[in-house]
Structure 1
Amino acid sequence: MNVSNKAVHAYINYIVENNDDPKVFFENLGHDYDIISDEKKYMTWNDYRLITEALNDKYEKFYEAMTKHGLTNKYVKRVLDILSRMISFRFVGDFILKYSFKTFYTDAVKIELIETGKTTFDIKLTFDRPEDIFPVFVDMYRIVFLALPKLVSDSMSWDVEISQDKNILIYHVNEHMGAPSIFASLQIVILRLFKLDKYYKNLIIENLQHTNDLEKKNLELETAERKIREAHKEVLLANRIISHDIANKMLIVEHVKRLIARGEIEKASQKLDIYYKSVKGIIENTRNVVDDNSSSFLMTDVVVWDLLEELIFEYQDQSVAKNIKLRIESEIDKSFTIRTNKEAFKDSILGNILQNAIKFSPEDSEVCFRIEMTDNEFFLSCKDSGIGIDSGLVNEINRNEDKLFKSTLGTHGEQGRGLGLFIIRKVCRELGLNVRFVSELGRGTKVIISKEIA
């Protein structure tokens, strides 16, 4: 779910009003202020939630403050006071609320006003998931809805009750309308005297609808533009993933050339067959990885031990070049299988793990795969004796699934592309696997993959 950065524009103003620096506030939350303040950009619903909760924690009167960034202009209030009597505030309110929610929350929250009686109606908010509804949001909008009528007309008030059913949040409103102000009464009398009330009523409705239509088109254009940008990013990412994983496999071709030169044709043929299947699988699965489309992966029962032996055979030449021993340990039967996509599991996950292990391990060391099983969970780990990773960076790697990390040179100066960890984590997620990195500088790295077994 995407939320427009416009949703936090009022937050930025409020932070400034409190003589605080919004840049410091947002950067402390891990956001780039230049991006978060760009109203043409979008954030995730979770980011919006965390920002809103952080503001609520920081400022005691946060809820009340949000009501001040609405229709507070006294001249606007006068006009809307007349409109609410000529047309009904529910019509105007319906337009205002739908307009603001569509502008701020795009497709993250759908709003609907449902008339339940002469003076009662429901404001129905539909979220994607029940967990997207968080208390600060619920309470904030209750305060906003309580204050909204007074911002429009001094003679109007709402009673607001709340109910929730799974992913649907409903504000039950009971509207009270007092006597109109002298200004409003006079204007209404004049309009009716000259029989202009119906004319202006229709004109206002037409303009509201026209404005609404224009805004819808504008939002459609923004959505289309965003989709184009996202598609462009996906194409770039797909190209990078393909080039990364295929580049890893190109070393096989070099080894095949040497095997042919030595006359080991059968072994060269085996290597080429592995290369062909791996590259074919990488290309086929890259689209699924970029799209987060786990349902498109072809899942089969894969014998883990056999897969690891095939992987070691594939990377044997690289390990021999550094005299690194590759071995497998198993505490369970060697015929044990898991249901997964063989190519994605072997090439995108285990291949990248082993590639990194060899790359960052010193000569005359060892890389060990270990297969274990508890009552209901399968574990596959890969432990090397390499240079290791700083503990702070390890925590960041485990926490940030979609972040790209800067590549570093291997122990023999091997050049990386900075995509390996990203691919490992992303493909694990798509295949329903958990992955965790354990490491210390100078003490090697252990990558642990796990999966619950029904």
Structure 2
Amino acid sequence: MLSEKNLVINYKTSLFPIVVCALLLFSTSSISAQSSNERDSLAHKLQRLKSTNKFNPKDTTHIKLLVDLAFSYQYLDSDSLYSVANRALQYSKKIDYYHGVVRSFNALGNYHYNKGNREKAMPMFKEALELATEVDDVDSELAILNTLAQNYSFEGNYAEALNLNLRGIDLAREINDQKTLSVLNENIAGLYADQKDFKNALMFYDTVQKFNRNLGNETVDAETQSNMASLYKDAKDYKNAMFNINRSINIFEKHKIYDWLAYAYQVKGDIYLDQEKYKWALYWYDQSDMLFKHQIEDDRIQIQLMNGMAKVYFGLENDSLSLVYAKKGLALSKKIKSLQGQIDCSETLYKVHKKKGDNPEALAYLETFKSLSDSLFMDKNKQSLSLLETKLGYEQEKKELIEANEEALAKQRNYIYFSVIILLILSIITFVIRRSENIQKKLNKELKDKSQAVIQREAQLHEINKTNTKLFSIIGHDLRGPIGGLQGILKMFTEGDISTKELVSFIPKLKTDVDNISFTLNNLLSWGLNQLNGVVTKPKRVSLSYLVNNNTKLLSEIAQSKSIKIINQLPENPRIWADNNQIDIVIRNILSNAIKFTPENGLITIEAEEKGDMWQISIRDTGVGMTAEMQRSIFKDSSNITTYGTNNEKGTGLGLSLCKEMVQKNNGEIWVESVPRKGTTFYFTVPKAQNRYQKAS
């Protein structure tokens, strides 16, 4: 490709068109003869992989190559991008390859966004970002944050764009990702540049160039220089603008980076357009246009190019071509829902029609321009409207409106003064009347608040006394006995009343008592914290099978001692959305009770069934069962009856009360069905986890 260094600029009208035509013809043939080395390399690797005997399309190596190939089509062949990324997504889902799912969603989101379909793109970006965070895929998370920030900036939502860039910078600093730090700081510089805050923009560009020097990558540096050239152009510093854009063009041509090269050509055209050098501006716009026709599919840059060419032809007095390009840019802006593109092209069309004397069309585009400008800039992002308002005389309109309002107010001033006097008199009378009412209301409110506070405090004290009573009852009744027995045996041993052999014979009994004490203390601690609001429910994605298997193993020794068989009939890997520790306590207590009240050679069955958006878990035993009266009382907080199992096992009397509280905290219900001497079934429900691609807890 040619750059300005290869040109001898001649401003004679007769020679210039010949030079431009020759250069354009040469550029077209050069572009069509070139191909992307990156895509060729990826395609070659894919072909080699497919030719191996053990090739599997669901292999992660194959998926990675597919995703890389999809991204290589961005701005070049959107249909190929969509097709390849969609294949990669399907393969990734089938093998739960989360990294592939994240990158495929990112690629598909870019496809839809570049097509103007924000409604499809943004959910894909957000789902990809959430999954990348969950599976700790930092590289993908940074890439998506960068993409989202650029998209929000393109939409004019600078506050959200800045927030995402700052979030990405924090993450990139944690892993010392110099390249991403360069990109994100450059994004922020672009936000300031869009608001014409050139001082702050250049400050961030200084930071970007420091990162670029550390990277030593001339391509990355060229991308920065092309953006800085655009900033210098907006600041009317054409010397620095031309210096930066020429350097970046040389590097992009050298490495055949067509998407950035098309942008750089367009920026160079903008620089000449700003200086009213229309023929040179047209030449560089044509260079950029050639790339769009043969290599690039980037509608956002093409909109700027179409509007730039429309302005050039307007400056060259060729109003018909100016209309053609401005209308192309407007149509493309509407297609991808680019508000800024519609604003810029509407402004150009207004000027062209105004010059032609076509006042109705000019007025229509002026109204479109004004309404779109208002909708874009009337937000909290501190965007500047001054330049556009000055160009179309908005300040003059505001001034005239203010003067008209002041004139109308002057005519009504006497009425206002009169009204103020009457209102003042009425206000004094109203003040005197309402003052006493307000004082009375205030006193009533204070009395009511204090009464309510006393009632609440009384209720709190009642609950505290109730809790203390229950704690002391359990400690005195269910813990003191086993601990006292253990203490007595040890005292007899130390005093020589029993021999070592006799002490050893007590060990199975002591172990059972210690296990019961431990289980009771765990329940007691959980219940006590619950009553004192010390437990916060933290739901997350949990494997129900994992909880059931753990508790089955934990209680297997007790079950085996009674020859009780525990059957796990859960479906394959059910996932719930609940607090892991609380549901663990529920399962352990119900399963422990089932073992406790089931005689020897009994059977315990654990099942789960889907009920809408809930899982219904049941634990069924062939134990002694319960009467109807007992079923009504077992879940009550006031219930503190210690019961004994079929082998005289002790309990605290608070296990099922605790289970009820834990289940309810997780938005579930618990109930029991029982027939005396036949068995008991406990049921409880918990919400199902969402079907997302993530690892279970």
Relative to the length of structure 2, the TM-score reads 0.28
Structure with greater contact order relative to length (CA < 8 Å, sep ≥ 6) = 1
Larger Rg: 2
Whichever structure has more helix as a proportion of its residues is: 2
Whichever structure has more strand as a proportion of its residues is: 1
Relative to the length of structure 1, the TM-score reads 0.41
